[in-house]
Amino acid sequence: MNLIWFRNDLRLADNPALFHALASGNKTTALFIVHSEQHQIHGEAPAKFEFLKAHVNNLIERLNKLGVNSVVKQLPLFADVPDYLLQVAQQLSIQSIYINRSYWFNEQQRDQQVKNILHTNKIQLHSYHSNYLLPPGTIRKADDTMYHVFTPYKNKFIQVMMASYELPLAVPHVESTTQLGGEPKSDVKEPLNVDFDGQDMWPIGEVAAAARLKSFVNDNDYQEERDFPAIDGTSSISPYLAIGVISAKQCLAYMLKAQGEGAFYSTWVSELIWRDFYNDLLFEYPKLAKHQTFKTHAVDHWHHNPELFDQWQKGQTGFPIVDAGMRQLLREGWMHNRVRMVVASFLSKLCLIDWRLGEAHFMAHLLDGDLASNNGGWQWSSATGCDAAPYFRIFNPTTQSKKFDQEGTYIRKYVVELANVDSKEIHDPKLETRKACDYPEPAIDYKLARAEALSWYKDNPMG
């Protein structure tokens, strides 16, 4: 009997662990372990947890149709997994456990403990690469060290990816295996309790995610539109990628099908490579998962300003584009990438507030909260990271707003009190307009804050 243990890979298609477990011809049972406490320790959004549980339920149904029974277990912590896994393996007479690899620090520690306990008890563990375009560690310089600049990493990445490209695995067919279906003898057979109210925006299931991807790759003007938050110009696939409802390899395959070989060099695939890059950095430098800066000598004397941080969190800074982004985050559990960069630069460079507070706030609300990409994005924005924006590149929120939300459409959607303000004024309303709309005055003086930031960063070199 086999066990396929699903983790960050909640899909049937392009799932090597599932594919190989079924292809072995042995009876296979699926296992899902849901960790409410671990989720909290990782500071992840409650909505992301509900989104994940909804996908577990969805996958159980689909596995059932495939003839695979499922076991669901709620365990508080990763540390509880090894003993539980052994117990299930013994109860169900499991000889082989199949997983797709996790690369982050806590997950690797958990998996090492699992490996040890299974090895001692003579149960085989089969693990596969699956959730990134290439396994971390693949792209290294001639001296075998990690690239610290994205462009040469990307160039080599594309070469290797093209040379080793294979189509993603299909959803396994029942007929392709001799015997499917185990007999779950333990634990929950009921669906998990789910309280997710974002289904209109984020429909549940791998079929819905694939449909979103398909419609994006067949009809997008990404290069032109990706920076404009009022336009639906990006794929909005990140929440699905974050829990593995769809794989990066599937994303690439859809794009190749729609656009041909040139897609390897497209801006969109380059963004997928950023995702791999940040994951590779975390793999190479586990300190990044422990609240440390990439730049070893970065000085960490950030300003302590709880009131300003509170205004930023609530979208009450008096900078309409910043407030629109922060309110989008609270309302939808997602924020447009251009605006993520603007609000992160605002907090870390103009307010000089510790980027880790921003990172944690994002993680606590994002549906796509992803340790590697979030850390990478925040360290990029605050100039503490690998190949980060230089310290003197400080976004002017008003200029960004005029450039990327010219008509103020995005601002109006989220900062509703400004809905009737003229598009010329909306980026920086006059004092009397603010009063009339009950919208706050700017929390900082941009010019002074910029000057202070430049001198602060000079005194605290991010060497």
Ligand X SMILES: Cc1cc2nc3c(=O)[nH]c(=O)nc-3n(C[C@H](O)[C@H](O)[C@H](O)COP(=O)(O)OP(=O)(O)OC[C@H]3O[C@@H](n4cnc5c(N)ncnc54)[C@H](O)[C@@H]3O)c2cc1C
Interacting residue ranges for ligand X, rule: CB under 6 A: 226, 234-238, 241-242, 271-272, 274-275, 278, 337, 340-341, 344, 362, 366, 368-370, 373-374, 376-378, 381
Contact 421, 437 (CB under 8 A): yes
CB-nearer residue toward ligand X: 81 or 335: 335
CB-nearer residue toward ligand X: 288 or 344: 344
CB-nearer residue toward ligand X: 226 or 327: 226
User: Closest approach of Cβ 411 to ligand X, in Å?
Assistant: 18
- Spot the catalytic one: 26, 107, 155, 271: 271
User: Closest approach of Cβ 226 to ligand X, in Å?
Assistant: 6
Question: Looking at residue 124, what DSSP letter applies?
Answer: E
User: Closest approach of Cβ 45 to ligand X, in Å?
Assistant: 10
Instruction: Based on the residue annotation, tell me whether 378 is a catalytic residue of this protein.
Output: yes
Could you tell me which of 87, 117, 111, 89 has the C-alpha nearest to residue 99? Answer: 111
Instruction: Based on the residue annotation, tell me whether 271 is a catalytic residue of this protein.
Output: yes
User: What number of other Cβ atoms are within 10 A of residue 403's Cβ?
Assistant: 14
User: Closest approach of Cβ 44 to ligand X, in Å?
Assistant: 10
Instruction: Based on the residue annotation, tell me whether 312 is a catalytic residue of this protein.
Output: no
Torsion of CA 363, 112, 71, 58, to 10 degrees: 40
Distance CA 110, CA 78 (A): 6
- Spot the catalytic one: 104, 202, 302, 380: 302
CB-nearer residue toward ligand X: 285 or 439: 285
Contact 124, 39 (CB under 8 A): no
Closest chain position to ligand X (CB): 377
User: Closest approach of Cβ 231 to ligand X, in Å?
Assistant: 11
Q: What radius of gyration, in Å, describes the C-alpha atoms of the chain?
A: 23
Give the CA distances from residue 84 to residues 87, 104, 285, in Å, rounded to whole numbers and listed in that order. Answer: 5, 21, 30
- Spot the catalytic one: 26, 106, 155, 337: 337
Complete DSSP assignment for 231-249: S--S---HHHHHTTSS-HH
212's enclosing H/E stretch is helix 206-218
Q: Which two tokens stand for residue 448?
A: 């002074």
Q: Which two tokens stand for residue 254?
A: 């859809």
- Spot the catalytic one: 312, 334, 378, 380: 378
CB-nearer residue toward ligand X: 381 or 384: 381
- Spot the catalytic one: 274, 305, 452, 460: 274
Instruction: Based on the residue annotation, tell me whether 337 is a catalytic residue of this protein.
Output: yes
Instruction: Cite the active site residues.
Output: 271, 274, 302, 337, 355, 378
